[in-house]
Amino acid sequence: MRHHLDDIQVEEEENEINLTPMLDVVFIMLIFFIVTASFVREVGIDVNRPDAPMTESKPEDSNILVVIDASDDVWIDRHLVDPRAVRAHIERLHAEHPEGSVVIQANNRSTNKRLVQVMDAARSAGVYSISIADSR
């Protein structure tokens, strides 16, 4: 009878599940996800918004107004401009009024691609003060 109880205890010890390897795998996966999560970068455009209304206002005529309509046509000073010539027009107008900034008024139906192209053209023309206005 004693021999029979010893066999049952040995069988119970052999039937237990060892969780140590599973915990090792879980900790390794946790470390992997923590390390890789710090390298993920989101792509986007930085938009600087003013904190408070500006007390000093620039004259309206010194600003360069660029309008993007619903069909992605670009208008500068009420003239239709080829998108490839936007930089040259902004450079010319900025030379006339160096204190002015570029105000882009984009239609809600215009594409973001055209907006970014105009912003890039303004920056390459040397104008870094760019505002985006809502067209209503």
Q: How far is CA 119 from CA 17, 19, 114, 133, in A?
A: 63, 58, 9, 13
User: What is the per-residue pLDDT for 10?
Assistant: 62
CA distance 77 to 67: 9
CA distance 98 to 130: 13
User: What is the per-residue pLDDT for 55?
Assistant: 47
Rounded to two decimals, what is the model's pTM? 0.55
Per-residue pLDDT tens listing for the chain (136 residues): 556 666 666 666 667 778 888 899 999 999 988 888 776 666 677 776 666 555 454 455 678 899 999 898 999 988 999 989 999 999 999 898 888 889 999 888 888 899 999 999 999 999 888 888 876 5
Topology of domain 61-134, CATH: Nucleotidyltransferase; domain 5 (3.30.420)
Q: Where are the domains of the chain?
A: 2-37, 61-134
Q: Which H/E stretch holds residue 56?
A: none
